[in-house]
Structure 1
Amino acid sequence: MQQRIIALLAGLLLAASVHAASWQEGSSYTAGTTVDYNGKTYTALVSHTAYVGAGWNPASTPTLWKEVGSSNTTPAPSASAVPSATPAITSTPQVSPAVTPTASPVVTANPGIANWDKSAAYVGGQRVSYNGQVYEAKWWTQGDVPGAAEWGPWKLVSSTTATPKPTATPVITASPSPTPMTCPALTPPPPIYDAKYVPIYDAAGCVIGWNIVSTLPTPYPTPSATPNVTSSPSPSTTPSVTPAPVNDKLLVGYLHASFANGSGYIRMNDVSDKWDFINLSFAEPTSSTSGEVAFKLCPSTECPNVESEADFIAAIKAKQAKGKKVQISIGGANGQVRLETTAAKDAFVRSVATIIDKYGLDGLDVDFEGHSLQLNAGDNDVANPKAPVIVNLIAALKELKAKYGSKFTLTMAPETFFVQLGYSFYGGTCSGCDTRAGAYLPVIYALRNDLTLLHVQDYNSGPITGLDGVYHTMGNADFHVAMTDMLLKGFKVAGTNFMFPALRPDQIAIGLPANANAGGGFTTVGDVQTALDCLMKGTNCGSYKPGATYPGLRGLMTWSVNWDKFNNFEFSTQHRAYFDKLPK
């Protein structure tokens, strides 16, 4: 019997020592992956990438992660004799040491890691200790409290743990009176328009930062057509592009033309006629800063059924003869394009034009992700950005538009991080936040009169604050309604006096994954059509009520044509049928 008990205890101790891997920012996770984060265990609900700087940790993104329990990091007890009395635990702020029969916990500092200093400047990769936890700087920072904001410059690396100091005989001591802890003074930020600050508290009850909460009323006021912006041109809320008919609904799909990506290669000639815009994915840069981009068909080693280049070009012409638009898409998740110099801008224009001319394409889709775009500190005028990567991209797109004229199509596929997040955090103005936040806004604004379609990716997204001042999470109808309403109503850019003007409904399509394999935040056909009902008809709205109805909303975009086929064409078949039933 004693041997069985010993074996059972050994098994329990072995199980306690096995933990899930710790969550890491910048890593990609597949659905079902289990991780530990801040003492808790989470399981990934969808496959996604935890973008650096986005703050999409398991605790803050319930649409990406589900809490399944507490992770056990308590040291296994020693097999020493059990004392006749229970040792008292000395009260120590910020630390919860494990109680063992033979050890008196002694808190030790993080070896070799200095405490955070408010006056010190830190560069990316440097580590500090703060309130018993170790943080690593994501980029240059000074004065930003570690852990104060989910979009901030610090990421949590580990927590300080109590280090047992063995003693021959446990000593029973009386519990001293707890030492009162003094919270560090933290000055509230200055007041901002249409918002209030709600304090964020740590485990000890100290204020470590503030959340920004909108105070906009509902229904929302119509944005002014002439925002009060110093030295900025008055934005026109009605771009001069000729509006499309109300019933001219589009399906936009990305075609894996240069790779297979596990969903299979589709020849251009076999692409369904349900797609109105076909974006060839992708032209990628020869280097991140050269500006030069190149496109080539998927190699036969990866795509055995790939057609010849001549057949590919002939199929493009056949699609165009049916009224379809075929574009080259540049960037994607792996294609970082930074136009840091005029020379890079010129190379970009030249190489894009070469691709368009060679394949006889209708235009260009800009799918810049990662670190392609970012703002300079103090870059607070959306109409007059200063960051070279943004200024040069705007100039390049205007040159291409001028070269090809009015028939040139221009679409953009930014993530919510680069657009709607600018309502809460703008990279040029917010202290300590990621300078990429809202970085697409100057580009969209500058090209608003030339923009054919904007289809923001309503997926692989963290929570985003809508015009109602509420966090909205992806994967449901309300999220799509709230994100789309922001583009169609316009919004004040955080930390500025600039009102980002509304785009026309026929310039907006909602970006979605074709199935759960294609991206995090997959939304069922039913929920997508509920969102369309709410936006276009004013019916079936959930908790979020848009400020108006938009019957001219242009359509839907998906990643991708290939994943749609992989999913038995559910996206294209069901949504094409929905659009075809709308009044003509």
Structure 2
Amino acid sequence: MQHSKLWMVSAALAVTAAYASAATYPAWQEGTTYAVGTIVSYNGHDYQALIAHTAYVGAGWNPAVTAGSLWKDLGVDTGSATPTPAPTPAPTPKPTPAPTPAPTPAPTPKPTPAPTPAPTPSASCNYVVWTAGVNYPLGTIVKYTPNGLYYLEKAVGTNGSDATNPTISTYYWAQTTCGSATPTPTPSGGLPAHVVGGYWPRWLSDQVRVANVNTNYNVIYLFAATPVGGQPGSTGAVEWIAPENATAAANLVADIATVRAQGRKVILSIGGANENVTFETRARSQAFVNSIISIYSQLGGFDGIDWDNYEASDNPNTSEMVWIGQQLKARWPGFIITSAPAPWSAVDQTFCQQLLQGNALDYCAPQYYDGPNLADPSYVQSNIATWMTLLGPSHVVVGFGVNPGVTNYMSIGQATSTWNAIKAAYPATLGVFDWQIDTDYAQGWPFANQMKPLVNP
């Protein structure tokens, strides 16, 4: 009878062990504090904590939402927790002296070194310096300069973090650690005194690399980020698709860093023909801001954005675009915002004026090409007067298309003489741009080489 009981106990232990070997990682739970490296299961996936944090109740701070900032997605739950130690570590045995080897003539073997435990991952993260007035997206880590501490946004309102101070609002923010912190690169700061710009379209198969663009161009527009889901955008977010030229694509991040180190500015254009994105709601505007933050990290930083987000009958959502510009300028001091409107459009003229009045624009650059009579020098000189009156010469850049022999484009001689006439009438005019850099490159850089000394002698 005693043997029967022992058999039953052994069987129960075997069953328990079998179930234990098939158990998943502990389920993620709100209200729990997680250490770096902790693994949990959530909605059929396993996640590993990237930093120490507390999953505050009601914050909605689950691993799926905060993957990449708080948690690393390890993939579909395998159904086995074998690779991870049990939650309660076994007690560390007291060290015991090594046994004295038997006295034999054999040489004493070298002692086997004790295994070195795997290091605990350090708390590291990417962060941005907190700026007053900016609404940060969920999961953003900021550094609060006055006290040098880091805070993680754990909840959002209608406007992201609602611009709250991380030391005051415990609803939106929680203090966190950021051991080997890496700051997000920041814009190199402010407009050049005079602009000689050019557009660099991403779709050309035979494209000059950004680093090889003539150094007389001090503003390079990357053309262009386009709405996710196509016009007018599914959420308000935009995306940057890699250039079609493989060499240009492979070297783009390094090339951007190179030209920025030279003091030149790289500006991300938004939209373009048939790529309009609209901002009917604050939620769409916030999604756009979040996507710009993402592209900023993707490209290793840039210096501003250029609104090409309206054309023909498309009317800009001016008030929301003012808000967007204010958010970006607050987040990155020195961030440049430009626009390339249709010269004749009263709607575009009002848009640029209101953005400038809202501190959400640095300059507008009307496009005098690619349309009937737009490249006529007499029209350019007449029409530019309207823009000078609306914005002031220091906020106006003149947009040329130099491609001789192509309808509605200028020769370089026409462009330089037109610029000289404008500069004589409005000496404080900020500068010029050319559409497109690759055409200038193919022609031997006439625009870059001849315009630069005229714009900035």
How much does 1:566 deviate?
Answer: 2.2
Q: Is the 8 A contact 1:338 1:373 kept in 2?
A: no
C-alpha displacement of 1:520: 4.8
1:530 and 2:414 matched: no
Look up the match of 1:447: 356
Change (3 A) 1:349 1:371: farther
The SS at the match of 1:410 is strand
- Secondary structure at the counterpart of residue 574 of structure 1: helix
Please name the residue that 2:89 is paired with.
none
Give the whole-Å Cα distance in 2 for the aligned partners of 1:440 and 1:367: 14
1:525 to partner: Cα distance: 2.1
Q: Distance in 2 between matches of 1:399 and 1:442?
A: 18
Q: Would you tell me which structure has more helix in proportion to its own residues?
A: 2
The CA distance in 1 between the partners of 2:429 and 2:190, in whole Å, is: 11
Distance in 2 separating the partners of 1:346 and 1:253: 29
Q: Displacement of 1:370 after TM fit?
A: 3.2
Please say if residues 476 and 528 of structure 1, whose CA atoms lie closer than 8 Å, have aligned partners that are also in contact: no
1:343 to 244, 265, 283: 283
Seen in structure 2, the aligned counterparts of structure 1 residues 243 and 398 have a Cα distance that, compared at 3 Å, is closer
Contact 2:404/2:411 (8 A) holds in 1:
no
Could you tell me the TM-score, scaled by structure 1's length? Answer: 0.42
In 2, Cα distance between the equivalents of 1:421 and 1:328?
23
Query: Could you tell me whether the CA contact under 8 Å between 1:514 and 1:571 is conserved in 2?
Result: yes
Is 1:275 aligned to 2:184, yes or no? no
Q: 1:243·1:506 contact (CA, 8 Å) conserved in 2?
A: no
Distance 1:292 1:450, change over 3 A: closer
Aligned residue type for 1:553? T
Q: Is the 8 A contact 2:303 2:335 kept in 1?
A: yes
- Counterpart CA distance in 2 for 1:265 and 1:350 is 29
What do the CA deviations read for 1:99-139 (whole angstroms, capped 9, x no partner)?
Answer: xxxxxxxxxxxxxxxxxxxxxxxxxxxxxxxxxxxxxxxxx
Q: CA, structure 1 residues 481+320, in 2 after alignment: closer, same or farther (shift >3 Å)?
A: same
The structure with the largest alpha-carbon Rg is 2
Structure 2 counterpart SS, 1:397: helix
- Amino acid aligned to 1:365: D
- Superimposed CA distance per residue, residues 173-220 of structure 1 (whole angstroms, 9 cap, x where no aligned partner): xxxxxxxxxxxxxxxxxxxxxxxxxxxxxxxxxxxxxxxxxxxxxxxx
Shift of 1:392: 2.0
Separation (CA, whole Å) in 2 of partners of 1:510 and 1:316: 24
Cα pair 2:381 2:422 within 8 Å, conserved: yes
Query: Structure 2: any 5+ residue segments left out of the alignment?
Result: 1-188
Deviations 1:247-306 (A, max 9, x none): x432111112x310x7x212122111111111111100013132110002224xxx2433
Match of 2:332 in 1: 404
Cα drift, residue 354 of structure 1: 1.5
Flag the 1:335–1:508 CA change in 2: closer, same or farther, 3 A: same
Is contact 1:254-1:280 (8 Å) kept?
Answer: yes
Question: Are the aligned partners of 2:401 and 2:434 in contact in 1 as well (CA < 8 Å)?
Answer: yes
Partner residue in 1 for 2:378: 478
**After superposition, what is the alpha-carbon deviation per residue over 1:434-493, rounded to whole angstroms, capped at 9, x for unaligned?**
xxxx2452353233444222111112334xxxxxxxxxx32222112112111112xxxx
- Counterparts of 1:243 and 1:286, CA distance in 2: 29
Distance change (3 Å), C-alpha of 1:244 and 1:443: closer
Q: Does 1:394 align with 2:303?
A: no
Alignment of 1:217-228 (within 5 A): none
Measured at CA, do residues 443 and 395 of structure 1 come closer, stay the same or move farther in structure 2, by a change above 3 Å? farther
- Check 1:318–1:402 CA distance in 2 against 1; reply closer, same or farther (3 A cut): same
SS at match of 1:320: helix
Mapped contact 1:336–1:372 kept (Cα < 8 A): no
Partners of 1:243 and 1:312 in 2: how far apart? 22
Match of 2:97? none
> Hey, what's the Cα distance between the residues in 1 that align with 2:191 and 2:302?
21
What is residue 259 of structure 1 aligned with on the other side? 203
RMSD over equivalenced CA pairs, Å: 2.6
Pairwise CA distance, 1:361: 0.6
2:236 corresponding residue in structure 1: 291
- AA aligned to 1:276 is N
Q: 1:354 aligns with which of 294, 301, 321?
A: 294
C-alpha deviation, 1:522, in angstroms: 1.0
One-letter amino acid of the structure 2 residue matched with residue 369 of structure 1: Y
User: How does 1:14-413 map onto structure 2 within 5 Å?
Assistant: 248-256=193-201, 258-260=202-204, 264-287=206-229, 288-289=232-233, 290-299=235-244, 303-308=245-250, 311-359=251-299, 360-370=301-311, 373-374=314-315, 389-405=317-333, 407-413=334-340
Aligned length: 264
Q: CA deviation at 1:320?
A: 1.2
Amino acid at match of 2:200: L
What is the distance in 1 between the residues matched to 2:350 and 2:292?
22
Could you tell me whether the CA contact under 8 Å between 1:267 and 1:306 is conserved in 2? yes
Change (3 A) 1:412 1:291: same
Partner letter of residue 370 of structure 1?
Answer: E
Letter in 2 for 1:267: R
Q: Is the 2:200–2:222 Cα contact (8 Å) retained in structure 1?
A: yes
* Residues 411, 455 of structure 1: 8 Å contact kept: yes
Alignment check: 8 A CA contact 1:268 1:315 kept? yes
Cα gap change, 1:354 to 1:447, in 2 (>3 Å): farther
Corresponding residue to 1:503 among 364, 378, 391:
391
Specify the SS of the correspondent of 1:414. Answer: coil
Preserved CA contact (<8 Å) 1:283 1:329: yes
Secondary structure, counterpart of 1:334 in structure 2? coil
Task: Name the % identity.
Answer: 23
Shift, 1:403, TM fit: 1.6
Change (3 A) 1:530 1:371: closer
- Are 1:558 and 2:434 counterparts? yes
Equivalent position amino acid for 1:458 in 2: Y
